[in-house]
Chain A
Amino acid sequence: MFLDSKAPEGPLAEKWDQHKFSVKLVNPANKRKYDVIVVGTGLAGASAAASLAELGYNVHAFTYHDSPRRAHSIAAQGGINAAKNYQNDGDSVFRLFYDTIKGGDYRAREANVYRLAQVSVQIIDQCVAQGVPFAREYGGLLANRSFGGAQVSRTFYARGQTGQQLLLGAYSALSRQVAYGKVRLHTRSEMLDLVVADGKAAGIVTRNLLTGAIENHAAHAVVLATGGYGNVFYLSTNAKYCNVTAAWRAHKKGAYFANPCFTQIHPTCIPVSGDYQSKLTLMSESLRNDGRVWVPKTKELAERLRKGEIKVKDLKEDDRDYFLERKYPAFGNLVPRDVASRNAKQMCDEGRGVGSTGLAVYLDFADIIQRTGAEAVSQKYGNLFAMYEKITDENPYELPMRIYPAVHYTMGGLWVDYNLQTTIPGLYATGECNFSDHGANRLGASALMQGLADGYFVIPYTIGDYLARTAPKPVDTSHPAFAEADKAVQERTAKLLAIKGNRTPDQFHKALGHIMWEYCGMARTAEGLTHAKAEIQKLKREFWQDLKLAGANEEMNQALEKAGRVADFIELGELMVDDALDRNESCGGHFREEYQTPEGEALRDDENYAYVAAWEYMGDNQPERLNKEELQFENVKLTQRSYK
């Protein structure tokens, strides 16, 4: 099928303005006659729900949490980019656009990314007006920092808790609309299916997580803002509840899933300490500004270190390999996330990893401490050092930190057009849930920007275009499609509870995570991926034969919740492997070992793979069909990245 991005014609800088003018408007008197469902209350969901309610639509907001404020956007540390150029250092909308396209390794849609850069400036204004306490200079103006190797200072921040402050801002706007009665909040409600009636999104089916009640909700349009799927790897920096279920069920109802293999592995996370590990904690990327990454020079030294026969301090300068500085003299420790991650993995694969598991490299602050003193280092990184010590019980002022890459963000997601509409009319996807803006690799401080751009400034315009073409008649759940979806959900839940096997949802999840990390993680090969596909299919069969649960549906049953999510992760995992197999090139977060430069860098194939891979569900256990959206680059020149 031909995928129409619906990106407007005309010069890049005028596309969005022209589009805003050309979309249909809903008569102000009619807005209250439209119901919109927003699933998810993170940055993208809360901002969308609040903004749509302000316009006058009746919004139903759903979250599986007890409160909208718990969404995982809250954990974002670094900051939010905006092309304000407050620092007079040469930033501009075009530069932010250019950096984002290039950082994404030329696999994102130009028109979307430019719009993102344009509205980024409004986001900051909006958040300040809400009372978000951004960091300030002594003169009272907003402070910026440079982030993730960007050459301009365009990142706005609130200490190491920017995501929290932005989310609480969006949550406050949402709460205000709840008080006005324009948003109805459905907490502890998990979306388990999308209802498509007469080819259009008509509502959702949810499970009340306290009572188990399966409920149907109708609306004129549905917005999914349900985040990313990094937890397919079991261990990631995502929160425990983060899952793909809402997006996946929409996919099975006809929404294409784009670029699922594009996942971002973040290089600076606290390493795994044991099998019991339930999640990974990110240490801010800013640490690489001053920390030096190294491993022991030889396998033998590393082994003795791991066994505790020698101590870190016994290793002389000559015994240490500062591998990033050695391989990339120009960028050194500041190479992009994907490059830093892959190199750390390579060192550990060579047997030179540290820590008891051998799956870690050192991030050493001894130099900077010696140069500027512990006090200065504490000023800059005190809270991060304290967090590290709390988790590992090691003092990073005395011992080098141990870090290892971890899954952090998923660039892939539901395919959307310029209006953020999926391939199902009336179904929209915003934030990390869609695929649109980051290509094959996301830049630091851009996730918050995208979530809020979609919610505050894009969806309020584009959804109107759809609603204006829909009759303002009251909706209800009488269409047979509701009964059908409801029944399917009930049956699926009953089926999960009826298996009565021997393995828990967590065991299956860990097994899946192991396969994904091993074969579809930082480095992938056709051979490994083929093996993984078979493994996942086997795991899927075992899951439906050997799952163990307790209790019933009609109660709070966290294992049952988990089981449904794991089942969807398994199916997604297979699609990720398919996508990674299809993409015979290396780009951004997708590194196929067969496709690399002689220096070991990612080798893109722009001639054959400058497309978005949008997968179409064809039925249970059927291969999915690949649809391609060819990417046109009219405003940037495609180049090979080099950090030597």
Chain B
Amino acid sequence: MAGSNPNAKPMNLTLNVWRQANRNAQGKIVEYHVKDISPEMSFLEMLDVLNEDLLHKGDDPVAFDHDCREGICGSCDLFINGRSHGPEKGTTTCQLHMRKFSDGDTITIEPWRANSFPINKDLSVDRSAFDRIIQAGGYVSVNTGGAPDGNEIPIPKDIADRAFEAATCIGCGACVAACKNASAMLFVSAKVSQLALLPQGNVERKTRVENMVAQMDKEGFGACTNIGSCAAECPVGISLENIAILNREFLAAKATSNNLA
């Protein structure tokens, strides 16, 4: 069915997909062919078609992470034709549509590659390093109950807006995947900035940035060399400005905190 556009012609595509049985197995690119792909399909729906085919043949379907399919949960994580989330700017894999490709195209699909993101299977990677970084300090230490009235802390609108923009990070890892150094700076900086901008984050400002950066280093991510691929590939447009804020916060904390370690 051609969907809303009666002129949309179905496509035949060649897929080069990374297959790897588990974390320790040797992986390789395997070539597949899919037929009659509607341009109205999302990229993941195209992979659904491939997987249904494989299953019918009794083959193991390609494992990949996905869930909300509306660009917000951050599950999907495909490196498509040499780009995080594929060719379209500001778009997660699930929101990428097949009309961005042409009949006869060959599409190479790989998992995020980074030491800190081990491969679970095929295209699914383990991003728990991100969780551990948040656990190191990506929060305001307030227990439930006892919070003052929400309007007791006025926050200038532009500050609230900037904090919000930083807070929209979906934790997909496209920044790490795109970075030549596999650095997690954009991810870490988004959380540090959000809480550094807001008065609520002020109390733990120094320990937060020190601990989060220490955890980031411990996880084995590369260091930032300000290449800018991360922000260019970020599906929600997290800005490089956040990395500068992180750097500033970190230097200030290191210079003035009472942490002697």
A and B co-occur in one complex:
yes
Residues of A near any B CB (own CB < 8 A): 47, 50-51, 54, 65-72, 74-75, 84, 86, 122, 124-142, 158-159, 161, 164-165, 168, 171-173, 175-176, 178-179, 185, 187, 210, 239-241, 271, 273-279, 281-282, 308, 355-357, 387, 390-394, 402, 456-457, 460, 502, 504, 506-507, 548-551, 555-556, 558-559
Q: How far is the CB of B214 from chain A (nearest CB, A)?
A: 13
Cross-chain contact B68 with A504 (CB below 8 angstroms): no
Which candidate, B160-168, B216-224, B226-234, is the interface stretch facing chain A?
Answer: B160-168
Cross-chain contact A278 with B44 (CB below 8 angstroms): yes
Sorted from nearest, which 9 A-B pairs have the closest CB atoms? A140-B154, A273-B3, A172-B139, A129-B147, A133-B164, A274-B1, A128-B150, A125-B147, A136-B160
Cross-chain contact B67 with A175 (CB below 8 angstroms): no
- Cα-based distance from A393 to B40 in the complex (angstroms): 8
Which chain B residues numbered 28 to 77 have a C-beta less than 8 Å away from chain A? Answer: 38, 40-42, 44-45, 48-49, 51-52, 54-56, 58-61, 63, 65-75
- Cα-based distance from A281 to B138 in the complex (angstroms): 30
Which candidate, B176-184, B195-203, B246-254, is the interface stretch facing chain A?
Answer: B195-203
Which candidate, B11-19, B78-86, B101-109, B129-137, is the interface stretch facing chain A?
Answer: B129-137
B22 CB–A CB distance under 8 Å: yes
Residues of B within 8 A of A387 (CB): 71
B4 CB–A CB distance under 8 Å: yes
Q: Apart from A125-B148, A176-B139, A391-B95, what 6 extra A-B contacts exist at CB < 8 Å?
A: A71-B73, A126-B142, A142-B151, A273-B4, A278-B45, A393-B99
- Cα-based distance from A66 to B134 in the complex (angstroms): 14
Residues of A within 8 A of B55 (CB): 504, 548-550, 559
Residues of A within 8 A of B61 (CB): 550, 558-559
Cross-chain contact B139 with A130 (CB below 8 angstroms): yes
Residues of B near any A CB (own CB < 8 A): 1-6, 21-22, 38, 40-42, 44-45, 48-49, 51-52, 54-56, 58-61, 63, 65-75, 91, 95, 97, 99, 120-121, 124, 126-128, 130-131, 134-136, 138-145, 147-151, 153-157, 160-161, 163-164, 167-168, 170-171, 194-195, 198, 200-201
Residues of B within 8 A of A122 (CB): 145, 147
Total A-B contacts with CB atoms under 8 angstroms apart: 238
- Cα-based distance from A168 to B194 in the complex (angstroms): 12
A131-B140, A141-B151, A141-B154 known; A240-B38 Cβ under 8 A: no
Cross-chain contact B134 with A171 (CB below 8 angstroms): yes
- Cα-based distance from A128 to B127 in the complex (angstroms): 28
Q: How far is the CB of B219 from chain A (nearest CB, A)?
A: 14
Q: Choose one: B6, B54, B127, B147; the contact of A550 (CB below 8 Å).
A: B54
Residues of A within 8 A of B167 (CB): 132-133, 158, 165, 168
- Cα-based distance from A70 to B126 in the complex (angstroms): 13
Cross-chain contact B75 with A66 (CB below 8 angstroms): yes
Cross-chain contact B144 with A50 (CB below 8 angstroms): yes
- Cα-based distance from A305 to B124 in the complex (angstroms): 44
Q: How far is the CB of B227 from chain A (nearest CB, A)?
A: 26
Chain B residue with the shortest CB-CB distance to A68: B131
Cross-chain contact A66 with B126 (CB below 8 angstroms): yes
Residues of B within 8 A of A357 (CB): 1, 3
Q: Choose one: A176, A390, A556; the contact of B121 (CB below 8 Å).
A: A556
Residues of B within 8 A of A179 (CB): 135-136
Interface pairs (21), CB distance under 8 Å: A72-B73, A129-B142, A131-B139, A132-B167, A133-B198, A136-B157, A141-B154, A178-B131, A273-B1, A274-B41, A276-B41, A355-B4, A356-B3, A357-B3, A390-B97, A506-B52, A548-B55, A548-B56, A550-B61, A555-B21, A556-B121
Cross-chain contact A210 with B120 (CB below 8 angstroms): yes
Residues of A within 8 A of B4 (CB): 271, 273, 355-356, 392-394, 402
- Greatest chain B CB density within 10 A among A239, A275, A357 is at A239
A141-B151, A273-B1 known; A75-B68 Cβ under 8 A: yes
Cross-chain contact B121 with A555 (CB below 8 angstroms): yes
Residues of B within 8 A of A126 (CB): 142, 144-145, 147
Q: How far is the CB of A242 from chain B (nearest CB, A)?
A: 8
Q: Choose one: B5, B65, B120, B151; the contact of A86 (CB below 8 Å).
A: B151
- Cα-based distance from A510 to B154 in the complex (angstroms): 50
A66-B126, A72-B68, A179-B135 known; A142-B97 Cβ under 8 A: no
Chain A residue with the shortest CB-CB distance to B75: A70
- Cα-based distance from A527 to B112 in the complex (angstroms): 52
Q: How far is the CB of B77 from chain A (nearest CB, A)?
A: 10
Cross-chain contact A274 with B120 (CB below 8 angstroms): no
- Cα-based distance from A140 to B60 in the complex (angstroms): 55
Residues of A within 8 A of B54 (CB): 550
- Greatest chain A CB density within 10 A among B69, B70, B142 is at B70
Q: Choose one: A54, A65, A133, A308; the contact of B75 (CB below 8 Å).
A: A65
Chain A residue with the shortest CB-CB distance to B88: A390
Chain A residue with the shortest CB-CB distance to B48: A278
Chain A residue with the shortest CB-CB distance to B23: A210
A133-B160, A402-B4, A555-B21 known; A456-B144 Cβ under 8 A: yes
- Cα-based distance from A140 to B161 in the complex (angstroms): 11
- Cα-based distance from A231 to B133 in the complex (angstroms): 33
Residues of B within 8 A of A47 (CB): 144
Residues of A within 8 A of B38 (CB): 273-274, 276
Residues of A within 8 A of B120 (CB): 210, 556
Cross-chain contact B150 with A84 (CB below 8 angstroms): yes
Q: How far is the CB of B137 from chain A (nearest CB, A)?
A: 8
Cross-chain contact B2 with A274 (CB below 8 angstroms): yes
Residues of A within 8 A of B58 (CB): 548, 550
Chain B residue with the shortest CB-CB distance to A399: B4
Q: Choose one: B40, B74, B91, B201; the contact of A273 (CB below 8 Å).
A: B40
Chain B residue with the shortest CB-CB distance to A163: B72
Q: Choose one: B22, B73, B195; the contact of A70 (CB below 8 Å).
A: B73
A172-B138, A549-B55 known; A558-B63 Cβ under 8 A: yes
Cross-chain contact B68 with A239 (CB below 8 angstroms): yes
Q: How far is the CB of B125 from chain A (nearest CB, A)?
A: 8
Residues of B within 8 A of A548 (CB): 55-56, 58
Cross-chain contact A70 with B74 (CB below 8 angstroms): yes
- Cα-based distance from A559 to B5 in the complex (angstroms): 32
Q: How far is the CB of B119 from chain A (nearest CB, A)?
A: 10
Q: How far is the CB of B252 from chain A (nearest CB, A)?
A: 19
Chain B residue with the shortest CB-CB distance to A73: B73
Residues of A within 8 A of B22 (CB): 555-556
Residues of B within 8 A of A274 (CB): 1-3, 38, 40-41
